[in-house]
Structures are given as structure tokens and as C-alpha cells.
Amino acid sequence: MIVKMKKAQIAVLSEDREALLEALQRSGVLMLLKSSDDSVQEDGADEEQLAARTEKSLRLLTKYHDKEQKETEADKFPSVPYETFVTDDPAHRVLLEAIEAADETIVRLKADDQSLKNELDMLRPWTDLELATDRVGKNRGVVYHLGIVPVAKQEDVQTIAATIGAALQFYGSAADGIATVAAVILEEDVSSMDALRLAGFLETSLPPAAQTVKETILAKEAQLRENADRIRAAEAQMKDYAGAKLSIELLNDRAVTAAERKKAPVTPTASTVFIEGWVRVDQLDELDKAIASATAIYELELFDPAKGEIPPTAVKNNKFVTAFETITDMFARPSYGEVDPNPVMSFWYWMLFGMMMADFGYGVVMVLLFAFLIKKMHAKGETLKLLKVLMYSGVTTAFWGLLFNSYFGASIGFMDRVSILNPVDDTMLLLGISLGIGVLHIFTGLFMRAVNSFRHKDYMAIFADSFAWILLISGLSMLLVPSIVVFAGGAAVAAAGKWVAIAGAAIIVLFAGRSSKNPVARIGSGLYALYGVTGYLGDIMSYSRVLALALTSAIIGQVMNQLAGMVQGDAWWGILAALPIYLIGHIFNLVMGLLSAYVHTSRLQFIEFYTKFYEGAGYEFRPLAIQLKYIDVVSDAKN
């Protein structure tokens, strides 16, 4: 159901502001509002920056986590007392800075390594050059030029060098040719080099140094080894820090929580602060206790929503229905003043999902698998709700599997007594059941529309917009069914259906356009509304997808069993050979079935069901609360 809201206005002394916000955040019951243009918010930039730093550090620590060290449940899902959570421990910030420093060292040294490797790649072809690189150039009437000669141009360069009287010395191979030193006479330097370049000599240079290239290479290789030692030491530090990641996780959640609190809008006066927000009526006592825990001097006033105000939407349902709220929220949040669709929708989603999967074996696997994931993952929030939807749907999958006599795609002879049909053999019967369920589903939507009309005291809408369509669709169904299924009394049912359909159509024509005072326009609007019957018929036909998915799952399961059976034969080893086919085939069928059933069951709710009554223009009730991403539970604090 949708929980009623009250608007709360709180006034406390200015010095109690922080204590009040902490108490409200700890209780998690008040959704704050910006009450006026005078409302102010503190700057939470420092906390947001701290949160970003901790996020980065936690990503870094993940790489250094010791995978061989087995984590306990307490390590994976830590729980801390509230006082520990809110206490800013300086050691946590020191650890964060140490992680950042170690990472900076690793990044800087690796960048230095890359630069050194690039320099070594450039220097190695010149290893045997005995001339110090700072002496390359003019030297006693001779000019030395360093260059690269492509292998294909080597003979041409040698020929030109011999012609102009230049001396060439070849060294090691580089990526684009051979490292070469050309010595030319100083007076002929320009002309000689022009000729060598034209022949293919590509002039280059090396960083000037007072030592030989070989000595430079040895120095840089030593620097690489030193860097490697320093990187290993920094990485060892990071592995040690990874063992204390809980401190950084705690620091992150604390920073995000503090930033959220600082952004809380408050209206200050000379000596007091004023806070306004929405509170659920079932949490009024908790709000009062939270305020009293922060200060003994306060004023709390509660008001019903004013006319035109739209409070946030909070829903309260049993455990089963709560799981299915995630399906509705994917479509739209319920409006505050309408009926909560979740109790009704959850039943239909549950049944339709199971009917689309319809296999006892798959249903048992779903229940066990998703129950295991819920426990293993310690899932929370929307993830937990979705996993529960799939787990609950495993029950109806097994139920319909019993009725369809399907056990991992196979039929069991003695179970025929509890089955009602075989999807492959009784296709038309299954189609009829699917469409019949579609009619009932749509009728439920029309009934929900009537309930909303009743809540808004629009009693004519109940008669003209809900009851009339139920009559019309019922009458058309009574007309069509005897022509498809032959049974005693079919003619009488069809005759009665004609009059029922006429009655529904007449009500629609006469009253659908009731907002118009002009009788002709009213009838015209009614006739136009009657044309909507085609949309209803299209909606009903959409439920044939239930047949399609049930049939697809059954056929794929049977095909996989047949393929495995062909390999299995009668020999004992055939079972081992067929086992991978059974496993892969049924895992594939289960995964595809889950995906298809999830999508198409959701579509039937969103398109065929919710369009009959659902407004869905609400927004979520999001109270000021402790923000937890890494810490699983803060004890003595409501979240």
C-alpha cells in the first residue's frame, strides 16, 4: 500500500543544527525539502573530494589483494558500530595518503622506465660507438654525422661516400635501418652531406654525454634495475595496505554520508534553524525520538499535504510483494494519491513468469540458485528485490512444469495424472488458456481503474470506463468461444454474449463522452471510444506470447535431450559423453528462458496491464540517511 505522508517543520537552536542533522540522518525517516529561498546548504566539496580519493584508492587496492587469502563473511560484508562509523580516525587519512604516495611512486617509476626503455632502444644500435656523444660534430677538420641508412639504400650510400671521399662506419641495426657514422671533410661538409642525404642517409642525433654509448647504456640499465626494486617495494607496501582496506571503505562511506548531510537544506534565523521535510505517518514516533536525542529544546509541527502539493511516494507491503516493487519502479513510481499496483501486479507477474518457463526442473534450479546468490552476495536494495523475484518465480515455474508434465524438457509417464496439457501436443488448448488469462489480467486492470475512480469519487467512471468494458469484452468472448470450442449449450452462451456485448457497447457510446454537453458530440465521442475495442483485442492477442515462450522452452529442452540421447546410447560411457550436452543445452535453455520471461512478463505488465489504470507520476521517498556502499551494516543506525 502507499503510505500516507505528513509534512514536518522542525525548529531548533542554531548550535544544535549539526546534532539534529546527524540524528535525522541516523534515523533515516525525514526527506528534507528546500522550504524557502532563504534555505542554505553547506559546501560538501571537501567530503566529495575525499570520497573520490578513497574510491580511487580502493580500486588500486583491488589489484594488490591477496587472492589466496580466504576472506571471511565479516571481511566481505563488514559491520561497524555507529560510533565507530561517525568518528573521524586520523589513522584512516594517514593510510589513504600512504596509499596515494605508494601509487604515485609506482606510476612515476613506471613512466620513468618507459622513457628509459625508449632511450635504450635508440642507443643500442650505437653500442660499439667509441666516441663520446658530446664529441660528435666538428673535430680537427673532420665533421662526424650520425644517421640511419635503410638496408635497401646501403650500397648507394657507400658508392656516393667513395665518390665524395667520405668515410662510413656501420654499427648495429635499428628499426628503420643501420646505425651509421659519416665522417666528411669540414670544407666539404655541406655538399657532401647533401649528396649522402640524396642517396638515402637519414641524419639523426643522440643525447650529448661525456661518456660512450656503451657506458650510457650500462648506466640506464642499472637505473632500470633500481627502479624495479623500488617498484617491488612500493607494490609490497600496497599489498600490506590492501589488508587494511576496511579503513578506506569506512572512510569512503563516512565521507559520502557527511557530504549528504552537508547538502541538507536548512533555513537559518538569528538564533535558530528551521528544517522542513516529508515523513511517513508510520514513522512519526521515530522522528520525534530522533529530534529529542539531539536536543531537548525544539519545536515539531506536522501538517497534512496542502492542496496541490504532491508528496513523495513510499510503499509498504509484505515481503513477497516488496520484491516485485522493483518491476513497477522500472516503469514508473506510483503517484501518491493512487492505488498501489504492486499487490495485484506481483501475483500476475509471478504466475505469468512461471507459465512462460513452465518446467519443474528449471523451477527447482531457480529457487536454489537465486536463494544461494542472495545469501552469497548479501544483496541489498534493488538487486535483492530482483533476485527474490526470480527466486519466487521459480516456484510458479515448477508449478506450471507439474501441470505441463515437463521435467528438464522430458515427460514422466506416471505424472500425467496431475498434468493438464502438453505444450507441444496441445498447442491450441494452451493458446486458449493464454488468451483467457490475458482477459482476466486485463479485467484486473479495469477493476483497478474502478478502484482509483472510487477513491476520486468519480462514480460514473466506474460504470462507464470500467464496468462497460468488462461487459463488452466478456460478451465478445462469449460469442467467440463457442465457435472455437464445441460444447453443450454453446449456442445459448453465444446468444447471451451478444446481448452482454451490446449492453457494454451501449454504455460506452452513451457515457464515454459524458464530459461534452452537446448530445451529438457526446455520441460522437462515445463512438470514437468504442473503436478502442480494437486496442483491447490487440492487448488480449499479446498474451499469445505466453504460448510462444512456453512452447519454445519445451521444444528446446526436448531437442537437447534428443541430441544427448543420440550420443548416450546404451553403453555406460555414453552417459559421460552425453553429460556435457545435457548441461550446456539446459543451461542455455534456462538462461534464454529467464531472459525472455523477464522481458515479456514485464512487457505484459507495462503495456497491457498498467495502461488500463496506472498513472505512475510519483517520485521516490528518499530520506536523509546514512550512505553505505562498502560497509554492510552500521549497528544501532537505521538505513
> pLDDT digits over 389-401, tens only?
999 999 999 999 9
- Residue reference for cell 662526424: 144
Residue 270 lies in a domain: yes
For residue 574, the model assigns a pLDDT of: 74
Same domain? For 85 and 194 the reply is no
10 within 8 A of 299, measured Cβ to Cβ: yes
- In a shared domain, residues 244 and 312: no
In a domain, 333, yes or no: no
Residue entry with cell 664529441:
135
pLDDT for residue 490? 72
In a domain, 332, yes or no: no
What is the helix (H) or strand (E) element at residue 178, kind and residue range? strand 177-185
In which residue are the cell numbers 523475484 written? Answer: 389
- 381 with 441, same domain: the answer is yes
Q: What is d(CA 169, CA 151) in angstroms, rounded to the nearest whole number?
A: 14
Q: How far apart are CA 434 and CA 451, in angstroms?
A: 26
Indicate if the pLDDT at residue 376 is higher than 90: no
Residue-level pLDDT at 575: 79
- Residues 591, 529, single domain; the answer is yes
- Using a cut of 0.85, tell me whether the model's pTM lies above it: no
Q: Are residues 416 and 434 in the same domain?
A: yes
Distance CA 625, CA 619 (A): 17
- How many CB atoms are located within 10 Å of the residue 160 CB? 20
DSSP letters for 209-277: -SS-HHHHHHHHHHHHHHHHHHHHHHHHHHHHHHTTHHHHHHHHHHHHHHHHHHT--BEE-SSEEEEEE
Query: Do the Cβ atoms of 312 and 620 come closer than 8 Å?
Result: yes
Measured distance CA(279)–CA(305) in Å, rounded:
11
What is the distance between the alpha carbons of residues 561 and 406, in angstroms, rounded to a whole number? Answer: 12
- The yes-or-no verdict on residue 326 having pLDDT over 60 is yes
Residue type, position 481, single letter: V
End-to-end, the C-alpha distance of the chain in Å comes to 21
Answer yes or no: do 113 and 170 share one domain: no
**Residue 334 in domain:** no
Residues 437 and 549 in one domain: yes
Q: Which residues, in sequence order, are bridge partners of residue 273?
A: 12, 268
| Residue 108 φ then ψ, to 5° | -65, -45
My answer on whether 190 and 307 are in the same domain is no
* pLDDT for residue 322 is more than 90: yes
**Is 337 part of any domain?**
no
Distance CA 5, CA 621 (A): 10
The contacts of residue 498 (CB under 8 Å, 6+ apart) are: 475, 478, 479
Dihedral Cα 480, 482, 483, 487, nearest 10 deg: 160
Least confident of 18-32, 74-88, 541-555: 74-88
Of the candidates 107, 84, 117, which has an alpha carbon nearest to the alpha carbon of residue 253?
Answer: 84
| Bridge partners, residue 298, by sequence | 12
What mean pLDDT is predicted for residues 564-580?
A: 77
Q: Do 514 and 566 sit in the same domain of this protein?
A: yes
> Is 285 in the same domain as 173?
no
Q: Is residue 498 part of a domain?
A: yes
- Which pLDDT tens digit goes with each residue over 471-504? 998 888 888 877 666 667 778 888 888 888 889 8
Q: How many domains does the chain have?
A: 4
List the alpha helices (DSSP H) in 39-89. 45-63, 73-76, 82-86
Q: Please indicate, yes or no, whether residues 476 and 602 belong to a single structural domain of this protein.
A: yes
DSSP state of 413: G
323 has pLDDT over 90: yes
Cβ-contact 537, 407 below 8 angstroms: no
Residue where the block lists cell 660534430: 137
Mean pLDDT of 272-276: 90
Kindly state the cell numbers that stand for 380.
541489498
What is the three-class DSSP state of 231?
Answer: helix
- Where are the alpha helices (H) located in 149-210, listed in sequence order? 154-164, 189-199
* pLDDT for res 410: 83
Same domain assignment for residues 52 and 178: no
Quote the crossing angle between the two packed helices 284-294 and 17-27, to the nearest 10°: 150
Q: Which residues in 590-607 are b (16+ Cβ under 10 Å) and which e? A: beebbebbbebbbebbbe
In the predicted model, what is the mean pLDDT of the chain?
A: 88
β-pairing, 272-280 vs 30-33, is antiparallel
Closest CA to 445 of 326, 535, 508, 382: 535
Torsion of CA 471, 472, 478, 479, to 10 degrees: 150
From 65-79, 487-501, 557-571, the region with the lowest mean pLDDT: 65-79
pLDDT at 107 over 70: yes
CA 85, distance to chain mean position in Å, is 27
pLDDT tens-digit profile of 254-263? 999 999 998 8
pLDDT attached to residue 73:
53
pLDDT digits (tens, 9 = 90+) for 220-255: 999 999 999 999 999 999 998 988 888 898 999 999
Domain that holds residue 291: 1-40+264-318+625-639
Residue 619 lies in a domain: no
CB 443 within 8 A of CB 473: yes
Residue ending a domain, choose from 187, 203, 218: 218
State the Cα angle at 12 between 8 and 16, rounded to 5°. Answer: 125
C-alpha distances out from residue 638 to 87, 252, 323, 348, 417, Å: 17, 19, 20, 33, 52
β partners of residue 276? 9, 33
Q: Provide the CATH number for the domain around residue 286.
A: 3.30.70.120
How confident is the model over 418-464, as pLDDT tens digits?
A: 677 888 888 888 888 899 999 999 999 999 999 988 888 888 888 88
In angstroms, what CA-CA distances link 230 with 104, 107, 427? 12, 11, 72
- Residue 488 domain flag: yes
Q: What does the alpha-carbon distance between residue 467 and residue 446 come to, in Å, rounded to a whole number? A: 8
Average pLDDT on 582-590 reads 90
Of 187, 245, 275, nearest in space to 7 by CA: 275
Helices (H), 245-380: 245-262, 284-294, 319-331, 342-357, 360-377
